[in-house]
Amino acid sequence: MNFSPNNGDFTFVSSTEAEELSGTISSPDVKVTLGGEAVRDPYASAFLRQRGYGWLLEVEDDDDSEERKPLLEELDIDLKDIYYKIRCVLMPMPSLGFNRQVVRDNPDFWGPLAVVLLFSMISIYGQFKVVSWIITIWIFGSLTIFLLARVLGGEVSYGQVLGVIGYSLLPLIVISPLLLVIGGFQLVSTLIKLCGVFWAAYSAASLLVGDEFKTKKPLLIYPIFLLYIYFLSLYTGV
């Protein structure tokens, strides 16, 4: 006698009937995203998670709405600020109305570096080996002026001195085409060189030599003047 009670979703059968039963159990269709590709194998994902590599199954959505900054902004280059500082250096007279203190109080690196590189390129008629030498003089010459200013009681930073000395090379760049044109006239050429050096030294000294130096101003103005004479000598090859 066979007893086959029904109980909800379960059906009990005898051992004799169980031998005649057969069938398969289908596995669920599971999709796992791995590296942007759909993987239908749930065992692979379980294996990775058990081994501590579950982070490989995570997918980060790209935020297309995120705005990318321009390259100049990423490098912290403000062309308007650099242009204004160039005008302040080339026209150092207070009567012109420029806020020249921005060259000292808001120092930057890329503007002075561009000026120094431009001066290096035109120096000694395009001999590129002088570029590294001029950059070295700019860095260590500015360091010397900075140390001297601090010893004399000046409240300046090395970045401020580096920026002012670099920007103040612009007058020497301005006079370089004139020296090429009238290089044969020795007297006129000498006067132009002196004007360029005084122009550069005055522009730098008026920014670096403040009232805090009082009677010690010549001790700082003189090495600044000598530094620009040396820069000019690198240009002329003397």
Closest listed residue to residue 88, CA positions, set 73, 76, 100, 78: 100
Yes or no: say if 82 and 108 are a contact pair by the CB < 8 Å rule: yes
Joined tokens for residue 88: 């302040």
CA atoms of 57 and 53, how far apart (whole Å): 8
| Model pLDDT, residue 227 | 92
Average pLDDT over residues 219-226: 89
Yes or no: say if 122 and 134 are a contact pair by the CB < 8 Å rule: no
Yes or no: say if 227 and 207 are a contact pair by the CB < 8 Å rule: no
Residue 19, Cβ neighbours under 10 Å: how many? 9
pTM: 0.64
Which position has the higher pLDDT, 73 or 132?
Answer: 132
pLDDT tens for each residue of 94-130: 777 778 888 888 888 888 888 888 888 877 665 666 7
Average pLDDT over residues 18-36: 51
pLDDT band, very low/low/confident/very high, at 139 (cuts 50, 70, 90): very high
206 pLDDT higher than 80:
yes
